[in-house]
Amino acid sequence: MTLSPSYSCRSEEDFQKGYANTALFLSAYSRQRNSPELLFNGACETWDYLQRHDLNVIADLGDIPLEELRPDQVFNVRRVHERANYTRFSGIADPVVGHTYAELINQGDIRGFFYFRITAYVPNQKLELKYVVEQYEVFSTAEVSPGFDWTSTGHE
């Protein structure tokens, strides 16, 4: 899969087209909601980054072949109980050719996670990746905690 160019390094005309080829949508449902799981972003002539959406989190796992990963390695690739081996998730990650990443999906009514590996990268221009979806669920909400709002503190 190729994402190109970086989202914020596009013309005004391209912005009118929405995400176009700058984002990865894992389902027709997330595309319909215009809620990508991954965005290739970065302003022109500055650093690019991999951006998640909503409450998703992303982690750089390093140079680990995609084919060697199992779902139970998402929090500790080496499965060795040492502090340095535990996955560190964030809101963004730097694109590095040959690195594999994990993304945990938490978007409203979508939960899951996937791994992806960057196979080619040209700053501001293109990002090529391979990915494997380990879990992806769309569910109906039966009940929610009252008061959630993206802009409020939730404290009273």
Secondary structure E strands in 1-152: 2-3, 23-24, 38-41, 49-51, 57-62, 92-93, 100-107, 110-122, 126-138
pLDDT surpassing 70 at residue 68: yes
pLDDT of residue 145: 75
pLDDT of residue 53: 82
pLDDT of residue 149: 65
What confidence tier does 32 reach under pLDDT thresholds 50, 70, 90?
A: very high
From CA 19, how far away is CA 15, in angstroms rounded? 7
Query: In the chain, what percentage of residues exceed pLDDT 70?
Result: 94
Write the pLDDT tens digit of every residue in 71-120. 999 999 988 999 999 999 999 999 999 999 999 999 888 999 999 999 99
What confidence tier does 148 reach under pLDDT thresholds 50, 70, 90?
A: low
From CA 13, how far away is CA 155, in angstroms rounded? 42
The pLDDT mean for the chain works out to 92
pLDDT of residue 103: 97
pTM, 2 dp: 0.90
Two structure tokens written together for 33: 């909601």
CA 14 to centroid of chain Cα atoms: 22
- What separation in angstroms does the CA of 118 have from each of 10, 37, 40, 48, 109? 21, 16, 11, 13, 28
Rounded mean pLDDT of 52-65?
A: 93
Rounded mean pLDDT of 29-55?
A: 93
Cis amide prior to 36 (ω within 30 degrees): no
Two structure tokens written together for 125: 């221009």
